[in-house]
Amino acid sequence: MDLILASGNPHKAEELNELFKDSKLNIQASTEKLEVIEDGISFQENAFKKSKAYFDRFKKPTLADDSGLVIPARTDILGVQSARYAPELATYTEKNQALLKDLEGLKERKAYFVCYFCFYLNPEEVFFFEGRVHGEIGLKAQGVDGFGYDPIFFPDGKEGQSLAELPQWKMEHSHRAKAVKEALKFFQNF
């Protein structure tokens, strides 16, 4: 099954094809980036909005994801706004430093990355899959692999190592990898 990725990022299509490599799903980069306003109150709602917008435009099955970092003790930051945190800062290195400063003195640093996939095959067939990886926000950034908030997120069971130091582990155990596994289980019998 061919799906158009509801994103303007061709690298994300490559990454998803690698994750879906043992399936019948083929993720195609979109030929056009659509401006979709992500004003939903949940990751699931934003993934749906993106997937439906691309389906409406191209009239072909689409796949969208919405992901972010959630800190339960600080629900006023990140969450569905993760990509829009500290918009005045140009790089994630700067954003990570700003976030660490925002969290100074916070004792409860548990956090999780979440990913929601929305497969919009047609208006009657819309499917969602979720993946999460739990951990905590460190006191400083570590590692150079990965992107976004990876250098300050330390997954459970990997004490002392950030996601930015665990690229192989991340490919198998990240929030996105877990959502892929759920989708694969479903689509193998589709």
Residues whose CB falls within 8 Å of the CB of residue 114, separated by 6 or more in sequence, listed in order: 43, 67, 68, 70, 130, 131, 132, 175
CA dihedral 15, 180, 7, 36 (to 10 degrees): -160
pTM of the model: 0.90
E strand or H helix at 111: strand 110-122
SS3 96: helix
Domain span at 46: 2-187
- The pLDDT tens digits of the residues spanning 126-136 come to 999 999 999 99
Query: CA–CA distance from 110 to each of 62, 68, 145, 165 (Å)?
Result: 33, 14, 22, 19
Closest by CA position to 79, among listed 87, 88, 70 = 70
What's the average pLDDT block by block, 10 residues per block, for the chain (190 residues)?
90 87 91 94 97 98 96 96 94 96 97 97 98 97 92 95 95 93 90
Residues identified as active-site = 66
- The pLDDT tens digits of the residues spanning 16-52 come to 898 898 889 999 999 999 999 999 999 999 999 999 9
Q: What is the CATH number of the domain that holds 59?
A: 3.90.950.10
For residue 136, the cross-strand partners are 110, 154
Domain count, the chain: 1
Which pLDDT value is given to residue 10?
78
